[in-house]
Amino acid sequence: MKHIKIDQLDFELFIDYEQIKKRIRLMGIDISMKYEAKHPVFVGVLNGCFMFMADLMKEIHVPCEISFVKLASYDGTTQGSIHELLGVGMDLKGREVIIVEDIIDSGKSLQHTIDALEKMEVASIAVCALLMKPECVQYEFDNIMYVGFEIEKEFVVGYGLDYNGLCRNLPDIYKNVNSTG
């Protein structure tokens, strides 16, 4: 599909699955080399990371563990207070942690996750994101180590990213043609 319509919004193909797979393969090689003898824990931020994390883990060739967190805003916006709906569920003290995010937008949820992990006294935190909107990031991060694609202020859906819960299942990423977001 080159175009999709959701409600009254039009989206066009932005990044196809073949490009995504190639980029993830390269990220997996980099991570596997860096963490060769470190037994990292990958912490995926749900719901958006599920497709990216599944494909990324197929490209990781070192012993590792996987866990997930689920965050939500109290008022349903990126401006609201963040709270945890589902925790990591394992002891991470002294562990090498790689946070897996679908997209870094404002950075608010990422900052919340990093703060929570630092309280657990982890050895290190690296961030691996499929997409990042550099213009939108409102926090200073020195641990974003792996980014699949840097994008403009685009409103994107597909490959785990949603619009009102829809489109997470699409293999490609689409951008809204009517506005930026």
**Helix (H) or strand (E) segment spanning residue 126:** strand 124-132
Rg (CA), the chain: 16
Catalytic residue among 105, 115, 142, 162: 105
The Cα 172–Cα 176 span in angstroms is 13
Measured from the Cβ of residue 88, the count of other Cβ atoms closer than 10 Å reads 17
Task: List helix spans (H) across the chain.
Answer: 17-34, 50-58, 108-119
Q: Is 16 known to be catalytic?
A: no
Active site residues: 105
